Amino acid sequence: MIIAERKPMDEIKRMLAPYKKVLVAGCGTCVTVCWAGGEKEVAILASQLRLARSAEHNEISIFEASVERQCEREMVAEIKDKVTEVEAVISLACGAGVQTMSEMFEDKPVFPGVNTTFIGMPEKEGLWVEMCGACGDCFLDRTGGICPIVRCAKGLLNGPCGGTRKGGKCEIDPDKDCAWVLIYRRLEKQGRLDLMRNYYAPKNYRAVKRPGRIQAAKA
């Protein structure tokens, strides 16, 4: 799932400064699940904006709307009427959603209200961690199902760097585990440590030719 985080208010206020009629648009999929852009966050941002602008004596009128997936043109089309009424849109969807909105309403500025950060999973309630780098060349079969591309701070393919901290923690953050120590433990548990002894040649970073494009095979 895509994980995002609300942008700092300063940035949002700056983007919306010239406008007096704005739509706050939420998305009902990934960003709802990660508490960044669902209906609840839409209401909070809208309220916060109204408060901010009223303190500046520069009233703003705000509409609120959410669609199931902002990265789908058909679903975004459902809120067309509301978009027509406003001068600008602040979208709480991921980058894909913001761009879909921008493309659908080319005459309206559509601003990102969140920073899209990574593909991840909840470690516990309210805490999400990065799991996948969408590299287009999955390596997980060789690493006991732990991705060194994003879970190792350096994306190393042939084992840990020399900076591992005591207890197998990451060089850059004692709160994070060294991915290669995790991989070692997992493979050891599975009796497959030989996988870690293999040499892996430099990765093909063009496995996905950017910008990515996938054509499904026709049935």
Partner 1 sequence: MNNCIVAFCCEHSAYPAADLAGKLKLHYPENLRIIRVPCAGRVDLIHILKAFEKGAAAVMVMGCEGGACHHMTGNTRTKERVKYCNLLLREIEADGRLVAMFNLSPNAPHKFVGAVNEITKRIKESGR
Partner 2 sequence: METKIGVFICNCSGTLNNIDFDAVVKKVVELPGVTSIKFISPLCLEEGKKKMLSCIREENIEKVVVAACSPEFKEHVFREVLENAGLNGHLFSMANIKEQCSWVHEGDVTGKVVELIKMAVSRTRLLQPVKMNNFSVNREVLVVGGGFEAINAALQLSRAGLRTTLLEREAVLGTGTTELENLCGFDINAMVMEVKGDENIEILAPAEVIETSGKIGDFNVRIRKGGEEISRKYGALVIATGYQTKLALESKLKSDVNIVSQEKLCHMLEDPELRIRPRTIGFMLDFADENSRLPTLATLNNALAAKRKWGSEVYVFCKNVKVDSERIERLYQEARDCGVMFLKSDVSPKVAAENGKIKIEAKDIFLGEDINLTCDVLVAEECLLPAEETEALSSILNIRRDSRGFYQDENVHLYPVASEKKGIFFIGGCRGNLDLSRVLTDVSSVVVSIYKLLSSGNILAEVERVKVDPQKCVACLTCIRICPHNAIQLVRVDGGKEVAEICDLACEACGICAAMCPAKAITFQGYRDEEILAQVETIGES
Partner 3 sequence: MATPFRKILKTKDFVVTAEAAPVKGSNVSKAIEHIELLKDKVDGLNVTDNQSSVMRYPSLGVCLLVKEHGGEPVLQVTCRDRNRLAIQADLLFAYSRGVDNVLCLTGDSIDVGDHKEAKQVFDLDSVQLIHLIHTLNSGQDMAGNELDGNIDFCIGTTATPSADPLEPQLIKVEKKLAAGVEFIQTQAVYELDELKRFVEFVRKMDDKVKILGGIVPVIGAKMAAYMNDNVPGVFIPQHLIDELAQTPKGTGVAKGIEIAARMIRQMREEKICDGVHIMFIGREEKVPDILEAAGLL
- State both tokens at 20: 């007096």
Out of partner 2, partner 3, partner 1, none, what residue 195 binds, judged by CB under 5 to 8 A for its kind, is: none
205 binds partner 3 (CB under 8 A): yes
Could you give the CA distance from residue 109 to residue 104 in angstroms, rounded to a whole number?
11
Out of partner 3, partner 1, partner 2, none, what residue 168 binds, judged by CB under 5 to 8 A for its kind, is: partner 3
Which C-beta is closer to partner 2: that of 92 or that of 183?
92
**Contacting partner 1 (CB under 8 A), which of 33, 52, 75, 208?**
52
Could you give the CA distance from residue 207 to residue 138 in angstroms, rounded to a whole number?
10
Could you give the CA distance from residue 81 to residue 108 in angstroms, rounded to a whole number?
13
* Block residue for tokens 């060294």: 178
174 binds partner 1 (CB under 8 A): no
Which C-beta is closer to partner 1: that of 63 or that of 184?
63
* Block residue for tokens 């892996």: 200
Beta-strand relationship, 127-132 and 21-27: unpaired
**Contacting partner 1 (CB under 8 A), which of 14, 17, 21, 54?**
54
Q: Which residues contact 21 (CB under 8 A, 6 or more apart)?
A: 60, 61, 62, 63, 85, 86, 87, 88
Compute the least distance from the CB of residue 95 to partner 1, in Å. 23
- State both tokens at 1: 């799932």
Residues 157-176, mask of contacts with partner 2 (x by CB under 8 A)? --------------------
**Contacting partner 2 (CB under 8 A), which of 11, 15, 19, 33?**
33
Within 5-34, the residues that bind partner 1 by CB under 8 A are 8-10, 13
Could you give the CA distance from residue 217 to residue 214 in angstroms, rounded to a whole number?
9
Compute the least distance from the CB of residue 92 to partner 1, in Å. 15
Out of partner 3, partner 2, partner 1, none, what residue 201 binds, judged by CB under 5 to 8 A for its kind, is: partner 3
Beta-strand relationship, 2-6 and 114-124: antiparallel
Residues that bind partner 1 (CB under 8 A): 8-10, 13, 40, 43-44, 47-48, 50-52, 54-55
